[in-house]
A and B are shown apart, each in its own frame.
Chain A
Amino acid sequence: MNKKDLQWLRAFLVPVFLTGFMLLQMSAVQSAESASPEKALNFLQNVVRLDLARYNVTLASCYTEYPSELGGLPQTWFLYTFESEESKMDVQGQLIGDTLVWLKVYPYKGSLILSEPLPDDVLGMAKRFMQRYQNYSKAAYIQQMLSILEHVSELKSSNVTVGNVKLIISLNGPSTDIEWIYTSNGMEFPGKKVAFAFKSGKFISFMDQWNIYRIGSDDVNVDADEAVSIAREALKDIPTLYMRKGNETIAVKPTLGGTPPRVRLLTAAREPLTLYPLWYVQLYFDQVYGMYYAVAVEIWADTGEIRTIYPLGFMGATSPPSNTPPATQTPPWPQTPTETPQGENPLEQPEQPEENPPAGTEPEQKQNTNISTMPLIAALTITAATTITLTVICKKTKLP
């Protein structure tokens, strides 16, 4: 191959490689963008039985990201708008991989237009949704959840556990949550769950993370006391806290106090999408140091290994700044509506009834909800008192 042939080959291959590279890039972008938010439409059509034909449906936003906690799985967030003459709403949701894990309806006008009527009661609605979801997803775990729900005859806050599934029904004002949570060894794993939520008797949201999260372990080999001991040992040497004082920076060494620790058994992901039992141990300082008052130590309950340590604080303050106004406002002398009042300057400072308390410790103060009536009551009382006083003074000084 001579030099000329090589030049020709280079001239041909370089554009081919560049074009190929660009196409690869484009397909990567497209695959990220084309994660299927239509799954949400299928769900709404087949489970909620939304009459899509009667809406003008627009995919307002859709994007995919790859968060580390999902171990490389794509996470797609989407927002649909639904508009018709009678009804208007947004639907926001999330896919992990190709699974619709969350969907929420934001109604703005009218009710959902359905292709098939639903039962009037929330319990009946939930049962119907689960039947349809079972047909739609064909997942075996839905059948088990449905059979637990079928045994519920009255809608009230309650819970029942069958095997590894705990059904929790929560009624809170207009909201009803119906959730099936994975439970094992007496522990709940709320990340692994299926849920429907209703507000004022209408469907609001859906979630299914059952097949997204795995259970890494349900062994609790470290008890609560041991967890506290591990936490105390880890906090033998608390890092130095640096604080500003004017232009100076001062170092403080916080120490733990005698307040009993706060201990909770939780679950968290040790590897992506795999849940393990976790002790949360909160140990308190002996006093507030700047904006910090405690330290949290998280310990894996199966191995006793420390997951993380972090301080707990607040964005308030230990004392108000120097220019906090006096407890009583000094109002500007009012413009006289009719005539200037005579006498001494009335704006003398009354005694400060109490010190300004720090944030969070403020006792409940009387709210000023009746502020418009208070002056009238005060006015009547004061007028009566003044009249009596003046009468007494007049009598004593024998003024006419």
Chain B
Amino acid sequence: MKHQIVVGSLLALFSLLGLHFVSIEPVKAVDRGHVVLRATGTALQWFEQNGWPNEDEVSYEVSIYVSNLFWGSSAYNHGYYGNDIAVSKSNILSLIEEFNSYDYATFFIYTHGINYTMYDVVYISVIYRGWVPAAYYPVQHYQFWDSYDQAVNDYEIWPKTNSSVIYFIFIWSCAQGKEIGSYHASYWISQSIYYAGTGAAGMPCAWTHRNYTQMSSDGYANPDNGPYCFIGFEGWSKPLSEQITGTNKNYGDFVKNFYQNLLQNGRSINQALDQASRAIWGYMGVQDFDDTVFYNGYWDSVPGRGLWFGKMHVYGNGGNTLPH
């Protein structure tokens, strides 16, 4: 009898516990992802004598360093590191789509890139001739390249980033940060006139689905309140291996310091930019990021190409902090 009472009591207890467990709502894990891509392609060259810097080695070291910082953070449960031949256009577009399905994602991409011109076209229906292009409107578009020199265009990224959760994008490449841009839609003006737009024009717009009216054009000095931040270069960016005048450091050290502050020390994007600027250029009396050549821009005369301008832009909200 005693035995039965004990068994009965245990059963009752287990049933209650069972009910208790059933009543607990499952807690959804937050899925956060990071992607670090280094696409060198055939456009990467290097000097190999007299101790001159080797872009191949330095960019590899920097991208591994940044990737390891992400892997070292418990805030991310998904990650991808793509290096050299592992980075194809289809892979990049798939990664964007995949990581955009999480709750939060961030990309760092080292590659080559350019801006170029496409044209929105107005077509009209003309009797006996059918549809003819009647007007062209130049639109700046942007592309960076995979390891096989295949271009990844802004308008190809847009369809992969619907309701974008890719909140921080840093592309170390030429030209990708020239402007925020906007979406150039295709639509009927009337039954006989059709406007054929070229799609997303501008990398920040393509990644975030925010146009130039919806993101701060200077997310460092005047950050907006949004969740997105995009860092890229207008014009030409510098090789990571290039030595910084008067120091024994290179631009790769700037990137490493920046990500270390973001991911290990919990700084906001702007705070991390400031601290990296102090760490690199402190000996020159630089107080913060807006004292640097990156923020203020740089000119140089490139043989056979004329005067070139470069500048690092921070769009959106540089006050954001990355999960760390």
Contacts and interface: CB of A to CB of B under 8 A. Distances in A.
Contacts of B117: 327, 354, 356-357, 362, 365
Given A79-B267, A371-B184, A310 B131 contact: no
A247 B300 CA distance: 32
A242 B49 CA distance: 10
B174 A314 contact: yes
Given A288-B305, A365-B117, A368-B182, A239 B284 contact: no
Contact of B283 (A191, A239, A328): A191
Contact of B131 (A181, A321, A329, A343): A343
Interface stretch (B30-38, B95-103, B145-153, B162-170): B145-153
A181 B308 CA distance: 31
B79 interface: no
A190 to B, nearest CB: 4
Nearest to A172: B290
Given A242-B46, A359-B115, A371-B137, A266 B246 contact: yes
B275 A338 contact: no
Contact of A386 (B124, B138, B267): B124
Interface in B72-89: none
B188 interface: yes
Interface residues of B, number: 114
Contacts of B143: 320, 324
B198 to A, nearest CB: 4
Interface in B144-194: 145, 149-151, 153, 155, 172-175, 179, 182, 184, 186-194
A90 interface: yes
A249 B175 CA distance: 27
B149 A316 contact: no
Given A242-B48, A268-B247, A368-B184, A288 B43 contact: no
Question: 10 closest A-B pairs (Cβ-Cβ)?
Answer: A346-B131, A344-B130, A343-B130, A290-B45, A268-B246, A190-B285, A316-B174, A239-B49, A331-B196, A314-B236
A382 B132 CA distance: 11
A191 B285 contact: yes
Given A316-B175, A360-B309, A345 B114 contact: no
A331 B197 contact: yes
Contact of A314 (B41, B124, B238): B238
B44 A320 contact: no
B130 A320 contact: no
A349 to B, nearest CB: 9
Interface stretch (A21-29, A125-133, A152-160, A292-300): A292-300
Interface in A72-127: 77, 79, 90, 92, 94, 101-102, 104, 106, 108
A296 B271 contact: no
A341 interface: yes
A331 B145 CA distance: 23
Nearest to B179: A367
A337 to B, nearest CB: 5
Q: What's the dominant secondary structure at chain A's contact region? A: mixed
Interface in A264-318: 266-269, 275, 278, 280, 284-294, 296, 298, 308-318
Interface of A: 60-61, 63, 67, 69, 77, 79, 90, 92, 94, 101-102, 104, 106, 108, 175, 177, 179, 181, 190-193, 195, 197, 205, 207, 209, 213, 239-246, 257, 259, 262, 266-269, 275, 278, 280, 284-294, 296, 298, 308-318, 320-329, 331-332, 334, 336-339, 341-348, 350, 353-354, 356-362, 365-369, 371, 374-376, 378-379, 381-383, 385-386, 389-390, 393
A192 B283 CA distance: 8
A361 B53 contact: no
Contact of B248 (A69, A324, A343, A386): A69
B245 interface: yes
Contact of B287 (A102, A290, A322): A102
Interface string B100-126: 000000000001111111111111111
A367 to B, nearest CB: 8
B265 A77 contact: yes
Contacts of B287: 102, 104, 177, 195, 197, 205, 207
Given A291-B45, A361-B305, A350 B121 contact: yes
Given A240-B49, A259-B303, A365-B117, A329 B236 contact: no
13 contacts: A90-B268, A239-B49, A240-B47, A240-B49, A262-B301, A288-B302, A291-B55, A310-B53, A311-B242, A315-B237, A347-B131, A368-B184, A371-B120
B136 interface: yes
Contact of A327 (B118, B288, B301): B118
Contact of B246 (A90, A278, A286): A278
A286 B174 contact: no
B243 A296 contact: yes
A343 B246 contact: no
A360 B137 contact: no
A312 B246 contact: no
B118 A325 contact: yes
Contacts of B267: 61, 79, 92
B306 interface: yes
A365 B138 contact: yes
Contact of A289 (B45, B248, B282): B45
Nearest to B140: A365
B271 A92 contact: yes
Contacts of B285: 179, 181, 190-193, 195, 207, 209
Nearest to B111: A315
Interface in B12-71: 41-50, 52-53, 55
B310 interface: yes
A338 B270 CA distance: 50
Contacts of A267: 246, 284
A26 B102 CA distance: 41
Given A69-B283, A290-B43, A341 B239 contact: no
A11 B283 CA distance: 53
B199 interface: yes
A321 B151 contact: yes
A15 B290 CA distance: 55
Interface in B237-263: 237-239, 242-243, 245-248
